[in-house]
Structure 1
Amino acid sequence: MIRYSLICAEGHAFDSWFASASAFDDLAARGLLSCATCGSSRVEKALMAPAVTSASPDEPPPLSAPRDLREALLAEIRRQIEEKSDYVGLSFAAEARAIHEGRAPERSIWGEARPEEARSLIEDGIPVAPLPFMPRRQTN
């Protein structure tokens, strides 16, 4: 695994892990990388300082490594969800119920629900799960 510091066309900096240098190159060439903050697909490697350590192989990695990996995984989860499902906003509970009852086409959706709405869906046997991130808010 290799970690790269990345930057998008909007100037957002973030890190991501790749199986190899060629894996990064392949994903970048196919336009399959996106910014963890704004979703821009114009992502490049940022200038990085080499990670030099004198720690022995028996010592645990620095505390930042698990955090960096977690952030990279969350960014990938967000990217996959946003790419492969429909955001229905505050209509999530109503839309999930309509899909479950056959009144709306079956598809993957995500959105926002009040706790009591989510609880009602679960009690009625409608499969839902919380996401580890909040929707991006549009600002003027």
Structure 2
Amino acid sequence: MIVYDLECRGGAHRFEGWFKSSDDFAGQQKQGFLACPVCGSPDVIKAVQAPRLGRKGNQLPDAPAARTEAPESSESAQAAVPATVPSPAAPVANAPLPPQAVELMHKLAQMQAEALKTSRYVGESFAEDARAMHYGESDAEAIHGQATPDEAQELLDEGIAVMPLPFPVTPPDQTN
């Protein structure tokens, strides 16, 4: 549907009209189906209007302005209402992360890198190797590798402590 701002030439009354297409508007205008709802004039034309462009999907909406003073009401209600109301958190997409989040991610990456240095990569045999160590069939050591979500859940159900790594790891045989 297309929405046009319309106006009658006689009284310059402005109103809105909805049409299937620009051809539909032209056809209705030519056949005299359009009339001003205020004065009834059939002499209706498209009014000059600003384009209605939707916001792109990757653009953030403007944050609402924070209130700077408490509302006018009783003293007890004023004490319960903060002087400023924080605006809701903006979506993360296409917005810079807060510095604390960046710092946390760097620390996690460093911790993971240190843990990987002191553990052995076992690849897709992770679940089997973790079970063997848990049940005393092989020596206990720190390992990392790959497991499906179902395998990881089964290990947890058996009481075997496992956890996903926060950041993806490239297997040693696939690194440069």
Q: What TM-score does the superposition give when structure 1 sets the normalisation length? A: 0.50
- 1:94 corresponds to 2:128: yes
- 1:103 corresponds to 2:137: yes
Listed as ranges, the matches of 1:43-122 within 5 Å are 63-122=97-156
Q: CA deviation at 1:64?
A: 4.5
1:124 to 144, 149, 158: 158
Which 5+ residue runs of structure 2 have no aligned equivalent?
1-95
- Aligned residue for 2:49? none
Question: Paired residues, what number?
Answer: 79
Tell me the C-alpha RMSD between the 2 structures. 2.0
Q: CA deviation at 1:63?
A: 4.5
Higher relative contact order, structure no. (Cα contacts within 8 Å, ≥ 6 residues apart): 1
Give the structure with higher Rg (CA).
Answer: 2
Amino acid at match of 2:135: E
Alignment partner of 1:120: what SS?
helix
- Aligned residue for 2:30? none
Q: CA deviation at 1:139?
A: 5.7
Q: What TM-score does the superposition give when structure 2 sets the normalisation length? A: 0.41
Alignment partner of 1:87: what SS?
strand
Overall identity of the aligned pairs, in %: 42
Q: Distance in 2 between matches of 1:139 and 1:111?
A: 15
